Amino acid sequence: GQNIDQPTEMTATEGAIVQINCTYQTSGFNGLFWYQQHAGEAPTFLSYNVLDGLEEKGRFSSFLSRSKGYSYLLLKELQMKDSASYLCAVRDGDYKLSFGAGTTVTVRA
Amino acid sequence: GAVVSQHPSRVICKSGTSVKIECRSLDFQATTMFWYRQFPKQSLMLMATSNEGSKATYEQGVEKDKFLINHASLTLSTLTVTSAHPEDSSFYICSARSASDYEQYFGPGTRLTVT
């Protein structure tokens, strides 16, 4: 099985940077995903890491260290619309995703 | 591309009745579909994995006789909640992937309320 930990809540100011950490212990690893989810909606894909290093995609970047079982999602130039839940998910060899509990990010003016 | 739809988006049913939720991949062939359940303020929990033309694989603790899954074609999977009870009220989300893609594409979800 998978054990995935991420902080429950984070608060940041508009225009700032926030880093959401995710640690995992897995029985199989075939990639790590980050999703954004607004209340009452389905998750939307943000990023995917399968090799160590940083993947940058506009204001969002994601980092992976497989040896440490660690990833982070970096949100830059925060906007009010970035207030949402951010889910870390690990995929196993059968393409099944196991999700962390999610980190609720609140962006304040 | 890679759009997944779900129908209905919301459903209210009485306790003891059955409800069917459809998940369709609109512009690709989904060799595998996944069904998740999400309770308020909790994360997504995988219920079952469904491959076209074969029986679904259920996660531990999910009753296969209560949550019937059919994946009869490469673009359609259905989840039927049988003899629904109030504790089955939840947000049900499907996702789909093709054989050639690393990503799962999520449907918009179905909010089920059992009264």
Nearest by CB: B108 against A41, A87, A102: A41
Give the pLDDT score at A1: 60
Q: What would the two tokens of residue B78 be?
A: 């259905």
**Diameter of chain B by CA atoms?**
42
Q: What would the two tokens of residue A108 be?
A: 């304040």
Q: Does A51 touch chain B (CB under 8 A)?
A: no
Give the pLDDT score at B101: 75
Length of chain B: 115
In 10 A of CB B91, how many CB atoms? 19
CA distance A100 to B98: 24
Judged by DSSP in three states, A85 sits in: strand
Higher per-residue pLDDT: A94 or B12: B12
**Pairwise CB contact (< 8 Å): A97 & B46:** yes
Give the pLDDT score at B1: 63
Judged by DSSP in three states, A94 sits in: coil
Nearest by CB: B104 against A97, A100, A101: A97
Q: To the nearest whole number, what is the mean pLDDT of chain A?
A: 94
Residues of chain B predicted below pLDDT 50: none
- Stretch (H or E) spanning A103: strand A103-108
- Stretch (H or E) spanning B78: strand B76-81
The percent of residues in chain A predicted with pLDDT above 70, rounded, is 99
- Tens of pLDDT along A23-73? 999 888 999 999 999 988 889 999 999 999 999 989 999 999 999 999 999
Given the structure tokens 């009753």, which residue do they identify?
B63
The DSSP call for residue A46 is E
**Pairwise CB contact (< 8 Å): B106 & A44:** yes
Question: CB under 8 Å to A14, separation ≥6 — which residues?
Answer: A78, A79, A80, A107, A108, A109
- CB < 8 Å to B105, chain A: 45
**Pairwise CB contact (< 8 Å): B109 & A96:** no
B32: nearest CA partner in chain A: A95
- Tens of pLDDT along B80-105? 999 999 999 999 999 998 877 778 89
Burial class of residue A93 (count of CB atoms within 10 Å of its CB; 0-12, 13-18, 19+): exposed
Cis bond before residue B8 (omega within 30° of 0)? yes
